[in-house]
Chain A
Amino acid sequence: MATSQRKKGGVQRVESKLRACIERGDYYEAHQMYRTLYFRYSAQKKYNDALELTYSGASLLLEHNQLCSGADLAMLWLEVLTQASMPVSKENIDRAISLFKELEADSPERISYINAALKWTKTVHPDETSGHPQLHNQLALVFWKEKNYIQSRYHFLHCSDGQGCGTMLIELSLQQGFPSEVDLFIAQTVFQYLCLNNKSAAKVTYMTYTESHPQIEEGPPFQKPLLNFVWYLLLAVEDCLTGGSSGKVTVFSVLCDIYKPSIRRDPSYLQYLDRIGQLFFGLPPPQQSGGSGLLDNLIQSFLRGEEEEGPPPAQPEEEDLD
């Protein structure tokens, strides 16, 4: 007890020195001292001390607009979380997000930071292959607030916040989409959720979007055929149809056939539906032919949890090999 008190006092004393250093504007010196201490604590496996130090250093430097040194300490903080397999708790997620918000939008530091944060959650939860949903959810909300809809949509797809996703999509459709795309925005997202095997998020997103979008009348059924197709697809996936699995696959095929004119409005839909047919209706993958590369790209980029800002693929594109 006494030793741990004294140790804690030690960290606090060092921290208040460093704080004073930063208040004086000696950023470089403070940054170097933080790093030195980080390496010392980390080598001694004093992970909690290392965490406190790097987190408070990162917050303080970022508060003072020292973006590079702040980002550097933020990365060290994530490194300790990863090394020590710290839990993906609410507190740690909150801290990760609070540092993330301070980093400059669209900066390379932010991209590295997201990748490192997701890597930490994957280390702790190896089954969450694209990163922990809680982290994705918080990232989606921050990006949404910043009106970075591309990134927000990407992170919503990797969590289960269908209500948030549906509401964000309404805003995106109204502010930046065309009126001819009102039904496409929700169809695209539902298909993508289903390809990621997340049917409950698909359904909640669909309900939220169709109930609250000012350009969609009350339903289902709706005026727009594509909206009805998506609704029937969700029902078929949900297993609330009679006739067992052979009946279900027949319904799925019939729906895809009848709604082909609507499905063709976006060429990628057919590929999503192939995948959905395999995942939920036991259909075999389509015949492998020269043209299957696009499907693979499309679906794989979700399954791998790949991001637009992620590192470029290590493999050259297939067409480059030919």
Chain B
Amino acid sequence: GAPGLPWQSVVPADWVPVIQRDIETQRNLQPQPPFSDAYSTGIPAKRRKTSH
């Protein structure tokens, strides 16, 4: 991050409440369940590994 500066002073003022709420939301983030095939085929390295 930015050394010595609180993040609130770095981002535009109207982002602050949204980011504050997102920090809270992320505290309760559930572990990501395994990806669907539809999603994981968009990851190129993975695509290459599984396609041959």
Of A40-48, A82-90, A99-107, A184-192, the one touching chain B = A184-192
- The listed residue (A185, A250, A261, A301) touching B48 by CB distance below 8 A is A301
Instruction: Select A221's contact among B18, B29, B52, beta carbons within 8 Å.
Output: B18
When each residue 220-235 of chain A gets 1 if its CB lies under 8 Å from chain B and 0 otherwise, what string results?
Answer: 1101010011001000
B44–chain A nearest beta-carbon distance, Å: 4
On chain A, the residues within 8 Å of B39 by CB distance are 177-178, 181, 184-185, 188
State A247–B12 Cα separation when bound (angstroms).
11
Which of A251, A297, A312 lies in contact with B44, CB distance below 8 A? A297
Please judge, given known A-B contacts A176-B38, A225-B25, whether A254 and B7 are in contact too, CB under 8 Å.
Answer: yes
Using Cβ atoms and an 8 Å threshold, which residues of chain A touch B45? Answer: 268, 294, 297-298, 301
A192 CA / B26 CA spacing, docked (Å) = 24
Size of the A side of the interface (Cβ < 8 Å), in residues, is 48
A308 interfacial contact with B, CB 8 Å:
yes
A20 on the interface (CB 8 Å rule)? no
- Chain A residue contacts of B10, Cβ below 8 A: 247, 250-251, 254
Specify which of A225, A232, A254, A308 is in contact with B1 (CB 8 Å cutoff): A254
Evaluate contact between A261 and B26: CB separation under 8 angstroms.
yes
Let me know if B2 and A250 touch, CB within 8 A: yes
> Residue A308 contacts which of B11, B22, B25, B48 (CB distance < 8 angstroms)?
B48
B43 neighbours in A (Cβ, 8 Å): 188, 266, 268, 298
- Given the known interface contacts A189-B42, A258-B19, the answer about A308 and B51 at a Cβ–Cβ threshold of 8 Å is yes
Give the total number of A-B pairs whose CB atoms are below 8 A apart.
101
| A153 CB–B CB distance under 8 Å | yes
Interface residues of A in 183-201 (CB under 8 A from B): 184-185, 188-189, 192
- Chain A residue nearest in CB terms to B38: A176
Residues 24 to 50 of chain B near chain A (Cβ within 8 Å): 25-26, 29, 32-33, 35-39, 41-45, 47-48
In whole angstroms, what is the CA distance A297 to B46 when docked? Answer: 10
What residues on A are CB-neighbors of B11 within 8 Å?
232, 251, 254-255
The answer to whether A143 has its CB under 8 Å from any CB of chain B is: no
Q: In the complex, A149 Cα to B37 Cα: how many Å?
A: 11
- Cα A177 to Cα B39 in complex, Å, equals 6
Let me know if A139 is at the binding interface, CB within 8 A.
Answer: no
Chain A residues positioned under 8 Å from B23 (CB to CB): 258
A255 to B7: give the CA distance in the assembly, Å. Answer: 9
Q: How many B residues, CB 8 Å from partner?
A: 31
Contact partners of B51 in chain A: CB under 8 A: 308-309
A153: chain B residues at CB < 8 Å are 41-42
> Which residues of A, 250-298, contact B by the 8 Å Cβ criterion?
250-251, 253-255, 257-259, 261-262, 265-266, 268, 294, 297-298
Please state if B41 and A150 are interface contacts (CB–CB under 8 Å): yes
Is there an interface contact between A301 and B44, defined as CB atoms closer than 8 Å?
yes
Q: Residue on B with the closest CB to A169?
A: B42
A172 at the interface (CB under 8 A from B): yes
A228-B37 contact, Cβ under 8 Å, with A268-B43, A301-B45: no
Q: Is the C-beta of A302 less than 8 angstroms from some C-beta in chain B?
A: yes
Interface residues of chain B, those whose CB is within 8 Å of chain A, are 1-2, 5, 7, 10-12, 15, 18-19, 22-23, 25-26, 29, 32-33, 35-39, 41-45, 47-48, 51-52
Q: A181-B36, A251-B11, A268-B43 are in contact. List 10 more A-B contacts (CB 8 A).
A: A176-B38, A181-B39, A185-B42, A228-B22, A229-B22, A257-B1, A259-B22, A262-B22, A297-B48, A312-B52
Q: Can you list 29 contacts pairing A with B, beta carbon distance less than 8 Å? A: A149-B38, A150-B42, A180-B33, A181-B38, A181-B39, A185-B39, A185-B42, A188-B42, A188-B43, A192-B42, A220-B18, A221-B18, A242-B12, A247-B10, A250-B2, A251-B10, A251-B11, A257-B7, A258-B23, A259-B22, A261-B26, A262-B26, A265-B32, A297-B45, A298-B43, A301-B45, A306-B44, A308-B51, A309-B51
